[in-house]
Structure 1
Amino acid sequence: MANWIEVILRAIGMLMLLFFAAKLAGKKQVAQLSYFDYISRITLGGIAAITILHLEVNFYYGILAVVVWVGITYLLDLLALKSKVVRAFIDGKSTVLIKDGKVMEDNLKKEQFTTDMLLKQLRTKNAFKFADVEFAVLEPTGELNVLLKRDRQPLTLKDLNVKIPDEKEPQAVIMDGKILNEPLATLGLNQAWLKTELDKQGVAIENVFLGQVDSFGQLTVDLFDDKIQVPKPTEMPLLLSSIKKCQADLELFALATENEKAKQMYSKNAKKVEEVIRKVQTLLQ
């Protein structure tokens, strides 16, 4: 057999083996790998490269080395799931760098983390002053996680006591100009509804690259031709306008009538509608 043919066959075989090894290792991203995982993957790559390019090396020995190495790392991962001691030994422990707003100098030296590196990592978390940080911990992966002081944290709707309903993930109902029936059925909709919504926007299905429906039943589309401007959905703003008009009409009725009982009824209902507007205005704008 020619050498180049053998290299190709070895490369294909090793690629398939490493593919199954990667599937066995799970879905960890590169940034989530521990030092042990990182070294393990580098070693596997080295074994594969030597087995493929060094034809004097027995190919089956290379396969055996990969299988043994993957088996050991997989066994250690299983032990790490069951034992905190093993997990701490393999993955390492988190290190607190800032606690109660104070920089832990000894921990910085222990992790060989300079002041410049600390400030750089803080800036990636939108913390440009260390005085704004209540707590910062260096994870075993090298990522710095930061908890800002209470008065430096972004304001949320919960802080304003504004209650909003839970929002479900949007469903893609059109891809590459084709309707996806399963997501439509999940939302309790059908193709007739979808075509009606597209007609409102003046868009043909075959011109839609991607179409999504959110949990409020609002359709958003992206066209193949980016030069064409698609009008934004108007159902929510129109609904808000209708509710506001209803509230204004009730106030007008209260002013126009001379019947005291009717005046009180209109005023009471106008206040109820005003309360509804206050609760849903954030969602419908």
Structure 2
Amino acid sequence: MLDWLEIVLRGLLFLVVLFAITKWLGKKQLSQLSFFEYVTGITIGSIGAEVVTGLERNIMHGIIGILTFAAVPFLAGLLSLKSKKFRDFMEGKGVILIKDGKVMEENLKKERYTTDELLELLRQKDVFKVADVEFAILEATGDLSVLLKKENQALTPKDLNMKVASAKEPQTVIMDGEILDEPLATIGRSRNWLHTELDKLGVTVENVFLGQVDSFGQVTVDLFDDKLEVPAPQEMPLLLASMKKCQADLEMFALGTEAKEAKSMYEKNSERLQAVIDKVEHILKS
């Protein structure tokens, strides 16, 4: 067999082997690598490259070598699940770099980080002032976890004692001009309903590059033609406007009647509807 052809065949074989091993070891190999896993990955790649191009070598020896280095992190992962000491040794532990707004210089030197590097990591977390930080921990993966002081944290509905509706994952119902039936079924909608919503927006399925439905049943679309503008969904603003109109009508009815019972009924229902509007207005405006 020609040398170049054998290299091509070996390359394809080892691509399949390495892909299968990576899938077996899990997603962590692609994101949060420990020092041990990083070294193992380099070694596996080196073995694969050597066997692919080294025509004098036995191909099975290369596969055995790769499987050996793949098995080691797999077994180390099993031991890490059972022993915290082993896990801390292999994967490392988080180190506090900032505490109560003060930089822990000794820990910074121990991890061989400069002040500029620390500030860069903080900026990646949208933090520009060290004094605003309650805790900053350098994780074993090299990521910096930052907890701002309470007064510097963004307000949440819970802080304001506000109840908000839970939001579900938006469902992609149109992709590349084709309707996806499974996401539609997940939210309990039909193709006819989707076509009706698209008619409201003045678009057709064929013109939609990406279409999604949010947890409130609103359809948003991205068209193939970026020059065309699609109006924003109006269901929620229209619902809010209708509720306000009903509340105003109830107040007007209360002022326009002389019957005490009717006046009392209109006033009570107007107050109830206003209370509902106050609770949902921030949702329907968003």
TM bucket (normalised to shorter chain) is over 0.9
Name the residue aligned to 2:165: 165
In the alignment, the residues of structure 1 paired with residue 213 and residue 275 of structure 2 have an alpha-carbon distance, to the nearest angstrom, of 28
Q: Which moved more, 1:125-134 or 1:110-119?
A: 110-119
Deviation at 1:29, TM superposition (A): 6.2
Structure 2: gaps spanning 5 or more residues: none
Work out the CA distance in 2 between the residues paired with 1:180 and 1:58: 49
Amino acid at match of 1:120: E
**Cα distance in 1 for residues equivalent to 2:16 and 2:209:** 34
> Superposition pairs for residues 86-105 of structure 1, below 5 Å?
86-105=86-105
Partner of 1:120: 120
The aligned counterpart of 2:192 is 192
Residue identity opposite 1:119 in structure 2: L
Q: What secondary structure is seen at the aligned counterpart in 2 of 1:28? A: helix
Instruction: Pick which of 88-97 and 255-264 moved more.
Output: 255-264
CA deviation digits over 1:140-163, x for unaligned, max 9?
Answer: 111111000000001112212221
Query: 2:138 maps to what in 1?
Result: 138
Greater shift in the superposed pair: 254-263 or 45-54 = 254-263
Counterpart residue type for residue 20 of structure 1: A
Find the aligned partners of 1:186 and 1:178 in 2 and give their Cα distance. 17
Partner SS, residue 28 of structure 2? coil
Structure 2 residue 279 is the aligned partner of structure 1 residue 276: no
User: Taking structure 2 as the reference length, what is the TM-score of the superposition?
Assistant: 0.95
Instruction: For 1:76, give the aligned amino acid.
Output: A
Equivalent residue number for residue 77 of structure 2: 77
- Structure 1 residue 30: Cα displacement: 4.3
Structure 1 SS opposite 2:172 = strand
- Mapped partners of 2:30, 2:74: distance in 1: 17
The whole-number CA distance in structure 2 between the counterparts of 1:29 and 1:144 is 19
Q: Which runs of 4+ in 1 moved over 6 A?
A: none
Q: Which residue of 1 aligns with 2:178?
A: 178
Distance in 1 of aligned mates of 2:273 and 2:247: 6
* Mapping 1:236-275, distance limit 5 Å: 236-275=236-275
Cα distance in 1 for residues equivalent to 2:12 and 2:236: 55
**CA deviation profile, 1:198-233 (whole Å, cap 9, x unmatched):** 111121111111111111111111111111111211
C-alpha RMSD of the superposition: 1.4
Q: In 1, are the aligned partners of 2:174 and 2:211 still within 8 Å (CA)? A: yes
What is the one-letter code of the residue matched to 2:88? Answer: A
- For residues 61-105 of structure 1, the C-alpha deviation after alignment (integer angstroms, 9 at most, x for no partner) is 111100111112211111112221221111111101112222212
SS at match of 1:126: coil
Q: Which residue of 1 aligns with 2:152?
A: 152
For 2:218, the equivalent position in structure 1 comes to 218
Match of 2:47 in 1: 47
1: CA distance, partners of 2:229 / 2:37: 48
Structure 1 residues 262, 122: closer, same or farther in 2, change over 3 A? same
Q: Any idea what SS the aligned residue of 2:146 has?
A: strand
When structure 1 is superposed on structure 2, of 213-222 and 130-139 the one drifting more is 213-222
* d(CA) in 1 for partners of 2:159, 2:44: 50
Q: Aligned partners of 1:252 and 1:79: how far apart in 2?
A: 73
Q: Secondary structure at the match of 1:32?
A: coil
Cα distance in 1 between the residues matched to 2:14 and 2:245? 70
Deviation at 1:46, TM superposition (A): 0.7
Whole-angstrom distance in 1 between the partners of 2:268 and 2:91: 63
Count, aligned residues: 285
- For 2:149, the aligned partner's letter is K
1:14-49 CA distance string (max 9 Å, x none): 111101111011012644111111111111111111
Counterpart of 2:231? 231
- Give the deviation of 1:274 after TM superposition: 1.0
CA distance in structure 2 between the aligned counterparts of 1:7 and 1:31, rounded to whole angstroms: 30
Q: Quick one: structure 1 residues 54 and 62, their matched pair in 2 at CA, closer, same or farther if it must change by over 3 Å? A: same
> For 1:231-276, what per-residue CA distance to the aligned partner results, in whole angstroms no more than 9, with x for missing partners?
2111110000000001111111122222233222222211111111
**2:123 matched to 1:111?**
no
Give distance in 1, aligned partners of 2:126 and 2:223: 35
The AA in structure 1 aligned to 2:116 is D
Q: CA separation in 2, counterparts of 1:28 and 1:120? A: 25
Identity within the alignment, %: 59
